[in-house]
């Protein structure tokens, strides 16, 4: 090697973040409920708790007691049965009333599904292009969020709202989300607004 040479070797490294992510993550097949949770009309702060409920990972009272904590497992919404995900959505008379009112608002058939697995199966199997279906997903996620919020309000603050007040909050949220979609130029905004408008 010539000692007078001042050559240095330069390396250029190109990192593709998508390729890196696909290399390091555990790859699994898409689940049936993917579009029901990660919908294009979803509100992110509603999609995350919905996802956790689909996985049955939220701390419902049945789960909390199974961890050995000394809590009363009775549903805080109806006071009649042990609280579980399936009970909260939509076997509980309180949440069932909200879900029924929401599906009636969307003019869905009267044979509404109330069992968690049936609701999730219906949402996962229906056409994702139907505006009514997208509105149902939006309403379902907002209902889950608001019912969970009401359960937490009762547990932590000792305060409660009647189901009609929670239902009105749900309608306000989905209406505002649909308005925001319209104002951003989304072609889904106006049709969703029509679904949620007073009929």
Whole-Å CA distances, 140 to 3, 14, 82: 74, 43, 22
| Cα dihedral 147, 150, 156, 158 sign | negative
Paired strand residues for 74: 82
Name the residue with higher pLDDT: 77 or 15.
Answer: 77
pLDDT digit string, tens, across residues 116-161: 999 999 898 865 568 999 999 999 999 999 999 999 999 999 999 9
Instruction: Report the distance separating Cα 14 and Cα 1, nearest Å.
Output: 30
What's the whole-number mean pLDDT along residues 64-77?
96
Least confident of 43-57, 117-131, 160-174, 175-189: 117-131
pLDDT of residue 9: 75
For the cut 90, the answer to whether the pLDDT of residue 199 exceeds it is no
Quickly count: other Cβ atoms within 10 Å of residue 122's Cβ: 16
Paired strand residues for 82: 74
Name the residue with higher pLDDT: 109 or 54.
Answer: 54
The candidate with the shortest Cα–Cα distance to 143, out of 92, 87, 102, 105, is: 102
User: Cα 65 to chain center, whole Å?
Assistant: 24
Structure pTM? 0.85
pLDDT digit string, tens, across residues 76-114: 999 999 999 999 999 999 999 999 999 999 988 756 789
Cα atoms found within 13 Å of the Cα of residue 84, Cβ hemisphere only? 10
Instruction: Report the distance separating Cα 58 and Cα 172, nearest Å.
Output: 25
């Amino acid at each position: 090697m010539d000692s007078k040479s001042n050559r240095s070797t330069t390396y250029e490294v190109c990192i593709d973040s998508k390729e890196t992510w696909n290399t390091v993550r555990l790859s699994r097949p898409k689940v049936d409920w993917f579009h029901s949770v990660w919908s294009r009309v979803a509100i992110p702060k509603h999609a995350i708790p919905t996802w956790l409920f689909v996985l049955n990972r939220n701390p419902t009272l049945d789960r909390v007691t199974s961890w050995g904590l000394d809590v009363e497992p009775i549903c805080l919404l109806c006071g009649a049965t042990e609280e579980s995900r399936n009970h909260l959505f939509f076997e509980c008379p309180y949440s069932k009333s909200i879900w029924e009112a929401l599906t009636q608002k969307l003019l869905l058939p009267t044979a509404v599904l109330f069992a968690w697995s049936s609701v999730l199966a219906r949402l996962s199997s229906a056409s994702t292009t139907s505006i009514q279906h997208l509105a149902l997903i939006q309403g379902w996620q907002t209902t889950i969020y608001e019912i969970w919020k009401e359960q937490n309000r009762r547990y932590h603050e000792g305060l409660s709202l009647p189901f009609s007040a929670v239902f009105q909050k749900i309608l306000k949220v989905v209406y505002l989300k649909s308005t925001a979609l319209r104002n951003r130029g989304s072609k889904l905004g106006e049709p969703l607004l029509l679904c949620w408008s007073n009929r």
